[in-house]
Structure formats: C-alpha cells, structure tokens
Structure 1
Amino acid sequence: MEMTHATRIKEDLQLPAADRAALGQVDEVTGGSVNVALTLLHHPELARRYMNFGLSFIVDGVLPARDRELIILRTARTCRSPYEWAQHVRMGLAAGLTEEEIRRITSDNLGGWARQDAELLAGVDTLLATSRLTEQQWAGLSSRYGTKAAVEAVMLAGHYFMLAGLLNSTDTQIEPGLEAPIPLG
C-alpha cells in the first residue's frame, strides 16, 4: 500500500495487522478514502476512536444523504480543504447532487437554490463563522428534521471543520484519480 498520504508527516508508517484491517473497513465504507486514515494512524489510539465516530456520520447518520453531502461540501469549500472536497464531490454525486449544484456550493450567492437547501447552506456558513446558529436557523433545522437530525447537522459541520484542519495542516494527498479542484465562486 502506498504510504505517501501526507507530505508534511515524514515518519514511516508501520501498520500492525489490526490497523490494516481497520484501514480495509475505511476503504470499504468510503470507497477509497484511505489517506485520511493513514494520516490519522500516526496516532493509533486516536485513529481508532476517531474512525468509529467519523464513519458513523456516513454509515449510521439520520440526515438524508444529499443533505449530509451539502453540509460536508460547503464545509470543505469554506475550509479550502482539497482532500475533503475531492472525496465528497464523488459522494455528493452518488447521493443525488448534480454537477451544477456542486459547482454552486462554492458560491456565496444562494439565489437559485431551493429554500431548504439555501437555509441549510446558510446555516453552515453561520455556524462556521460564529460557532452558533441563529434562533431562526436552529428552529428551521429542528422543524425540518427533528432535534436528533438538527444536532447531527451541527456536529457534522463541526466534525468536517476539525478534519479539514488536520488534512490541510498535514497536506494529506488526494488519492489518484479523485482530483477535483475546488472552484472558487
């Protein structure tokens, strides 16, 4: 397995059998997003705990897949995270987003979006800028999804904000064939 996952981490990564098995699970669930796991495995204890938490959004989340990908892609765009953007363009298309919608996620102009999509994208913007949704935004999320999914939406944006910080800081490389530059709108 190629171990050139992060250009700022210079140590060789020696994976025990259990970590190789966990890496196989990440590959299966995400369809090839292994470099994020390879970066995390430089801290094996943290990686095991994190991967269980991080993968749960994709495997066990209550948000509709399309809405989940809107949140993740908007967060990746805001954080200028090429790794997350490339991974989730693919996942967003599989979840029902169109190429045009994915391009428009990068624009601050929310005109042309369906009302609920615009509200979701604006909520991500507010949350990442202020660490708090407005009363109206929280009420809209709760009304639309229920409290459980509203909590998940906020945690999802926060989770990908945190992950983008790690991936950007370590310069984690995008897997070959998944390059999808972030169009700046």
Structure 2
Amino acid sequence: MSDFRPLTDAEWPDEIGDLLPGFAGRLDVYRVMARDPRLLRAWQDLRQHVVIDSSLGAEFSEIVILRTGHRLGSPYEWGQHVSRSRKLGMSEGRITSIAGSIERMSEPDATLARAVDELLDEARLSDKTRRAILGLVGTEGMFDLMATVGFYSTLAFIANSTDLALDARIRAELEETPSSGRTTSRSA
C-alpha cells in the first residue's frame, strides 16, 4: 500500500520549497497534496481566492465548507472548519445545525446549505435556489460558492482517500471541546 502520510519538512519537494513556510506547510492536507508538487503549485492561486478573497465573506464561506465536509463524510474538513468557525465567533448551535436539516437553519444558512446540496446531488443550482443565492450574495458570490464547493470537495476527496487524520492541533482542540455536529476523527 502506498504511503500517503503528510510529508515532513525534510521530505518536502525542492520545487515547491517556497510554499512550505506559507499555507502549504500549515495543514496536513497540503502536506499530503505536496506528493504532487505541480498540483500544489497550481492550487496556490485558487486557494488564495477561495479561502482569503472570496466575496462570500468568512461566515458564509464556513457555512458552505461545513456543509460540503458534512455531505462528503469528511471528518477532516468538518473538524478543521468547526475550529475555524469557532474562531470567527459562530455559535455551537449554528455550527451543529449545518450538519442537520435545512428546515432548522436560519434562512441565509439554509439557502447556502441548499445550494451545496443541489450542487453535490445534481451538479447544478435549481432556478429557485439560484435566485435565492443571487439575492443573498450576488453574482460573484454565486460563482464563489460553486468554486468553494468544488475546492473543498477536492480536499475532502484527498483527506478521505488517504485516511488523513485531523491535524494534531485541531484534534486536541476538539477533544477538549467536542463538536456535537458530527464525528471528528476517522478510524485508522
């Protein structure tokens, strides 16, 4: 079986050495992705837009990411983003609701979650959902939502397919203050 553990600093490929001190060295999912240096290099600009410069804003982005992680059964993405959502000041109830029924969410969160569900189930937004998303976040926000679902689907595929455990720092945080929304660790 192939070794897909996160690369250590000593194993880091020279051709992407400049990425190690930045985003790529901070999370284990990127340390796994570094096994394909060209992909990680190409990922850099898209990550900047989706994670940092998205027109969705931080909280709406987290709602989209949490719902994507939940729907794709990715404890890695769910756990990482429970931590990020908490740092943004989002309540435990709101975070937990994202793994539940759309009917129990606030209207904006339900609109975002419905869009994620439609994209994952149908690979498109219905006319009704598209109109609601446009009203909530505008045209750029709609495109950023779709890009966010695609971006985090890819990360969930990587994490799930390589049985990636939560980063140690996040695992410790969630052991100290568990999230009631979903299982946060994968069995080894």
TM-score (norm 2): 0.82
How far has the Cα of 1:122 moved from its partner?
Answer: 1.3
Query: Which residue identity lines up with residue 81 of structure 1 in the other structure?
Result: S
Runs of 4+ in 1 over 4 A off after TM superposition: 10-13
8 Å Cα contact 1:23-1:37 kept in structure 2: no
Match of 1:26 among 23, 26, 29: 23
For the aligned residue pairs, the C-alpha RMSD in angstroms reads 2.3
Aligned to 2:20, the other structure's residue is in SS state helix
- Residue identity in the other structure for 2:127: E
CA distance in 2 between partners of 1:48 and 1:171 (Å): 23
Question: What is the number of equivalent residue pairs in this alignment?
Answer: 173
- Amino acid paired to 2:27: V
Higher helix residue share = 2
Q: Distance between the aligned counterparts of 1:99 and 1:69, measured in 2?
A: 13
Match of 2:34 in 1: 41
1:140 alignment partner, one of 132, 150, 155: 132
Cα deviation, 1:51-79, whole Å, max 9, x if unaligned, reads: 32123212111112100000000000011
Unaligned runs of 5+ in 2: 184-188
Question: Which structure would you say has the larger RCO, counting Cα contacts within 8 Å and 6 or more residues apart?
Answer: 1
| Separation in structure 2 between the aligned mates of residue 73 and residue 101 of structure 1, nearest angstrom | 11
CA contact (8 A) 2:6 2:32 kept: no
Residue 129 to residue 68, structure 1, CA distance change in 2 (3 Å): same
Q: Does 1:118 align with 2:113?
A: no
Q: Please say if residues 33 and 87 of structure 1, whose CA atoms lie closer than 8 Å, have aligned partners that are also in contact.
A: no
Say which SS state the counterpart of residue 146 (structure 1) adopts.
Answer: helix
